[in-house]
Each structure stands twice: as structure tokens, then as C-alpha cells.
Chains A and B, each alone.
Chain A
Amino acid sequence: MHGGATHFPIALLMVSVIFDHAGFWWRNEVRRREFCAVGFYSLFIAAVAGPVAVVSGIALSKGTLIGSGMLALHHYFVWPAFGLLIGLAVWRLVVRERASRRASGCYLALASLTLGVMMTAGYWGGEMIIGK
């Protein structure tokens, strides 16, 4: 179940970051709002799917929080990524489209970092079960 559930937050966060970047840089105001709306809803669903992926992973590893070897490498990135994902989603829920340009820029930088951390966690997760 973890193998299936974990791809939803990764893919949705990726979509969210791409559309938020488009919304940040696009000149047309209407398009900009539409792109940001896609980014917002993708992030929101990713944040809802995140706990499912995390709980299924915890169940798979029998409650191991760090572990050893590749599992530890996976966890070093998973926990910060999970916290950041939830934190970003809550910030977005509170602020909605009322964020200043500067705050949106900071948000984008942090969301991009979160995506990088999450993809690194995904890489180590894949290495564990697939090998190379």
C-alpha cells in the first residue's frame, strides 16, 4: 500500500510547485490566478494524501522511525518533507491569495525545497525496494 499511496503527495506537490511558479511569473492576471488555484488545490490534496503515505510507511516498517542503512536515509528526508508539506498547506489555507509578492516568493522557494527533499526521500525509498 505504501508504494501506491506515496506517489500521490509526491506527484501533487510537483504539480503544485510547477503551477505556483507559473502563477508567480505569468504576466496575465487572470491566468496567474488560475495557475495559483491549481497550485493551491494540488498542495491541499497532497497534504491530505501525505498522512496516508506516512502511516502506510510506518506500518510497513513496523513503527521504525529512523532505522538503518537506506531506511535511515529515506527517513532523514521523509520527516522534514512531511512536516514542511503540512506546514506549507496550512500557511496556504490561512493566507489564500492574500499573500504579498515577497511572501509568495519565500513560499515558492520553501515549496521547491520541500519538493527536492521529498524527491530525495522517494529516491531512497525506491532504492530500498527496487535496487538498481
Chain B
Amino acid sequence: MKLSLQLKGIILGIVAGLAAIGIAFAAAEMFQPKPAAASGATEALVIPPAGTPANQGYKLFMLNCAHCHGADARGDEGPDLHGVTKSDQRIVTIIQNGIKGEMPKFSAKLNDTETRALVAFIRTLKEE
């Protein structure tokens, strides 16, 4: 059976596309931190009760902050947020204005209520 040139192209294209994704996924393993070097924190976050500001803060955290601070808030690119000793106002200022060269500002993205909800959530993260 002789395949047409276009069909050959389609088959090779599909194979190459899937192979590219597969290679990228395999390459990702090389960049993943080794278990021994990880923070050791494997516990999931305790989700605050629904309807509370902390719960709203949790949702905002997962959407806006988790990719830097880690889905467990134990730190990744950004620091661990458990047992933060800074004042509420200081945390609000950091969220709104960011830290130059380290953290983006969220003043145009999160309003005051949302920022306070995030602070309420951060306060639920106790150091073990």
C-alpha cells in the first residue's frame, strides 16, 4: 500500500508532535528536585471553612500565588508562608506593591477585600 505524500506528512506530524511532548515530559524529570533535597513537607493545606475570608483567600492563593509559593505554601520560587511573623499591614503592602526583582505587585489585580482575605488565609498557616 502506497501512502500519499500528504498522509505521510500527517502521520509524521502527529508522531513528531506527540514525541515532542513526550520528550519534554521526560526532560521535566531531570529538573524535578530530588526527594531527599525537597523540603520534606508533604502535607496538603487545610482548607478553611467555606464562606470565611480565609476560604476566599485560599482560592485566591491557589490561583495567584501557588505557582511561586508552592501548592502547600511551603515555598518554592517564593518563601514558605507558614508562621509568617510580619504584621497584617506589612503583608498587605507586600502583596499590593510586590518586592522589586522578587515578587510582582498585585495592586491592580486584587482589591483591598481580596488582599485582606489572602492575609486571613496566610494567618491560618501555622508553623509546626
A interface, CB within 8 angstroms of B: 50-51, 54-55, 58-59, 61-65, 67-72, 79, 82-92, 94-95, 98-100, 103, 128-132
Contact = CB atoms under 8 A, between A and B. Distances in A.
Interface residues of B, number: 39
B33 interface: yes
| Secondary structure type dominating chain A contacts | helix
B21 A82 contact: yes
Interface of B: 5-6, 8-10, 12-21, 24-25, 27-33, 62-67, 71, 76, 98, 104-109
A64 B32 CA distance: 7
A94 B11 CA distance: 10
| Secondary structure type dominating chain B contacts | helix
B12 A94 contact: yes
12 contacts: A58-B24, A58-B28, A62-B76, A67-B67, A86-B19, A87-B18, A88-B17, A90-B12, A91-B13, A99-B6, A128-B67, A131-B104
Contacts of B63: 69-70
